[in-house]
A = this chain, B = another copy of it.
Amino acid sequence: MLKLKQNIYDDEVFFKEYTAVRKSGTTYNDFIEQPAIKSLMPSLEGKSVLDLGCGNGQFASYCVDRGASKVLGVDISKKMLELAKQENNHEKIEYLCSPIEDLDLSNQTFHVIVSSLAIHYIKDYSNLIKTITKLLAKDGEFIFSTEHPIVTARKDMDNWVKDEEGNKLHWAFDNYQEEGQRKQRWHIDGVIKYHRTISTLVNTLIINGLNIKNILEPQSTPAGLEQMPKLVNERRRPSFLIIKAKKGL
């Protein structure tokens, strides 16, 4: 079978490990990425939301709780969507199994499009942003997080350089302008991510007519620093980049 899109979340081993870690509530997502992405969300009262890479639907539920009129959650992984339908089932939430870059929603538009840590899996960022721009209503907002280019730049992604006692000396950085595939072990071997420069990430939005409203390089919440002391290293290099852009001023 020709494997067109990477779908690690349907891998048995990955799915088991990943869902266990996420369930723990003590992850980079819980303490860094999710608080930051939520801080950029506009009022959702009566708004339609598209969640690209919705996973277990937790964020879709959050949007409904905040007054969203409807949420469409899209994910490539059947397993994640099964979980979503169990754990975050709601009459205002619809789930769709599709690679986010192949979305065909004809003339639907959304007030808010959100994507949490999915875009670094997508090969053709330019085309994805074109699609997203079309799916945004006038004055619609697009908020997404991605692994920070500082993290994905180096081809050898073993990036903390340590001394003999294991102390982190510095972060090894390299290969910044060589955009494209990076292979990494993350629960399983050979997870593919795509590195893009900050200028590519930002300018592609602008070229498509979106206005940049905010860029975050978030650090851990205080609770995170208490429960996961290693998150102090976010001060040394940021794991995530979060961008908010708007169709209109």
155-186 of chain A: CB within 8 A of chain B: 161, 169-178
Establish whether residues B211 and A177, one from each chain, have CB atoms under 8 Å apart when the complex forms: no
Residue A224 is within 8 A (CB to CB) of chain B in the complex: no
Complex contact B235–A177 (CB within 8 A): yes
A150 contacts the other chain (Cβ, under 8 Å)?
yes
Closest CB in chain B relative to A167 CB, distance in Å: 12
Q: Does chain B have a CB within 8 A of A30?
A: no
Q: Is the CB of B150 within 8 A of A173?
A: yes
Interface size, chain A (Cβ < 8 Å)? 34
Interface pick from A45-53, A101-109, A213-221: A213-221
* Alpha-carbon gap, A198 to B154, bound state (A): 19
Query: Is there an interface contact between B177 and A197, defined as CB atoms closer than 8 Å?
Result: no
Chain A interface mostly: mixed
Is the C-beta of A8 less than 8 angstroms from some C-beta in chain B? no
Q: Is A202 an interface residue (CB 8 A)?
A: yes
Shortest A44–chain B CB gap in Å is: 22
Complex contacts, A94 vs chain B, CB 8 Å: none
Interface string of A40-62 (1 = CB under 8 A from B): 00000000000000000000000
Point out the residues of chain B lying under 8 angstroms from A137, CB to CB.
Answer: none
A35 CB to closest chain B CB (Å) equals: 15
- Whether the pair A176, B212 counts as a contact (CB closer than 8 A) is no
